């Protein structure tokens, strides 16, 4: 039998799926959620079994990499078992997870044993009080414990994700780089994206570009541009002083990665989003629930959905909300 692959209308092969396993979170990061978030009622959220079925269909259609995200994926009960099931799907090369790290002290070992290959851990600052302000509920010491537990459990190529905001954490950039060097972690700096309405700060005023982040880093280190790519919005650099780690710069406002985009996202409600910055979507939950036990119906819907994938996204740097959903609905 010939290999099955998903290809969109622009001949891009889609082999990377990000799945949000919950919209809930134990943190309320200022750029991600409102303080008084309303979460979805349970019946609107995919069950773990439904999430597994979607993963199974995507892998049958040639998906090589799946990333679980949220909300905070590690606060959904049963998530370790879900990881174990997905990691065992034949043909999948890599199951990864993006987490805030709050539960890793407890779960790093079981996740590693379940077959999760790589972790991205969010960390925006190293000052406990500022960490609390940015996350509203988070405890820095717990996250650092989690990062150390991940290293100890055997995770390699762990990456820190850091959203940079002018006046909030831009002065900590080099401390974060030095933290990453000491613990042998890659680190990515992310420009804030206009997802959902927030009142904490003006996104336009807090905007801190990847180029500005590199200028700061150049005050302490020698940056060397690298040709490495993951077909996503990251560009990579290395440091002459610490070549063992990789620095990524995620500039969602730029378009130069759209041409090679290989990814789609599944929201916690089962909507398949074809592009993070657009509303093109297909309701896979409706397909799953109206045709239970018929994976061929799900696969057909996924193949058809590829035709809707737009060529590029449309973010602008201002305070208008261009995409109404919050990041916790879609996963970063």
Identify the residue among 138, 146, 248, 331 touching ligand SAM (CB under 6 A). Answer: 331
Question: Between residues 21 and 301, which has the closer beta carbon with respect to ligand SAM?
Answer: 21
Q: How far is the CB of 4 from ligand SF4 (least distance, A)?
A: 33
DSSP string, 195-247: BS---SS-HHHH---HHHHHHHHHTTS-EEE-----SSSEEEEEETTEEEEEE
Return phi, psi of residue 234, to 5°.
Answer: -90, 140
Question: Of 118, 107, 33, which Cα lies nearest the Cα of 71?
Answer: 33
Write each residue from 104 to 143 as x if it is in contact with ligand SF4 (CB under 6 A), else as -, in one continuous string. Answer: ------------------x---------------------
Residue 18, marked binder: yes
Q: Residues touching ligand SF4: how many (CB under 6 A)?
A: 13
Identify the residue among 56, 63, 328, 330 touching ligand SF4 (CB under 6 A). Answer: 328
> Is residue 158 a contact point for ligand SAM (CB under 6 A)?
no
Question: Of 245, 253, 250, 209, which Cα lies nearest the Cα of 224?
Answer: 245
Residue 275, marked binder: yes
Distance CA 269, CA 36 (A): 20
Residue 162, marked binder: no
Write each residue from 205 to 244 as x if it is in contact with ligand SAM (CB under 6 A), else as -, in one continuous string. Answer: ----------------------------------------
Residue 71, marked binder: yes
Tokens of 116: 């999760």
DSSP string, 89-107: STT--EEEEEE-STTHHHH
Write each residue from 75 to 104 as x if it is in contact with ligand SAM (CB under 6 A), else as -, in one continuous string. Answer: -----------------------xxx----
Candidates 110-118, 166-174, 185-193, 261-269; binding stretch for ligand SAM (CB under 6 A): 185-193
Residue 83, marked binder: no
Specify the DSSP class assigned to residue 114: H
Answer for the pair 115, 92: CB distance below 8 angstroms, yes or no.
no
Ordered strands of the 16-20 beta sheet: 223-225, 234-239, 242-250, 186-191, 159-164, 118-122, 94-99, 65-69, 16-20, 263-266, 271-273, 281-283
Binding-site residue set: 18, 25, 29, 31-32, 67, 71, 98, 122, 159, 193, 258, 261, 263-265, 275
Q: Which residues of the shown chain bind ligand SAM in the complex (CB under 6 A)?
A: 25, 31-32, 69-70, 72, 98-100, 122, 161, 163, 190, 192-193, 195, 327-328, 331-332
């Amino acid at each position: 039998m010939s290999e099955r692959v998903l290809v969109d209308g622009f001949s891009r092969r889609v082999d990377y799926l990000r799945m949000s396993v919950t919209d809930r979170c134990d943190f309320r990061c200022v750029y991600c959620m409102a303080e008084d978030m309303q979460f979805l009622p349970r019946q609107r959220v995919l069950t773990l079994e439904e999430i597994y079925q979607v993963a199974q269909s995507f892998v049958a259609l040639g998906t090589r990499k799946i990333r679980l995200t949220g909300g905070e994926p590690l606060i959904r009960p049963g998530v370790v078992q879900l990881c174990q099931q997905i990691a065992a799907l034949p043909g999948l090369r890599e199951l990864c997870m993006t987490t805030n790290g709050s539960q890793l002290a407890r779960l790093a070992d079981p996740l590693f044993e379940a077959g999760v290959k790589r972790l991205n851990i969010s960390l925006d600052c190293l000052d406990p009080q500022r960490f609390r302000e940015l996350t509203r509920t988070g405890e820095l010491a717990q996250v650092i414990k989690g990062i150390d537990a991940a290293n100890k459990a055997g995770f390699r190529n762990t990456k820190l994700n850091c959203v940079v905001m002018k006046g909030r954490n831009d002065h900590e950039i080099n401390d974060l780089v030095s933290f990453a060097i000491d613990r042998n972690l890659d680190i990515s700096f992310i420009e804030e994206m206009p997802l959902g309405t927030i009142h904490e700060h003006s996104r336009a005023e807090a905007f801190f570009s990847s180029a500005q982040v590199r200028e700061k880093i150049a005050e302490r280190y020698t940056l060397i541009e690298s040709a490495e790519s993951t077909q996503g919005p990251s560009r990579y650099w290395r440091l002459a002083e610490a070549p063992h780690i990789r620095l990524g710069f995620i500039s969602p406002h730029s378009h130069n990665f759209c041409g090679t985009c290989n990814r789609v996202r599944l929201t916690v409600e089962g909507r398949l989003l074809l592009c993070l910055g657009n509303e093109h979507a297909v309701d896979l939950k409706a397909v799953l629930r109206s045709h239970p036990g018929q994976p061929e119906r799900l696969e057909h819907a996924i193949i058809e959905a590829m035709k809707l994938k737009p060529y590029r996204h449309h973010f602008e740097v201002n305070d208008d909300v261009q995409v109404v959903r919050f990041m916790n609905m879609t996963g970063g």
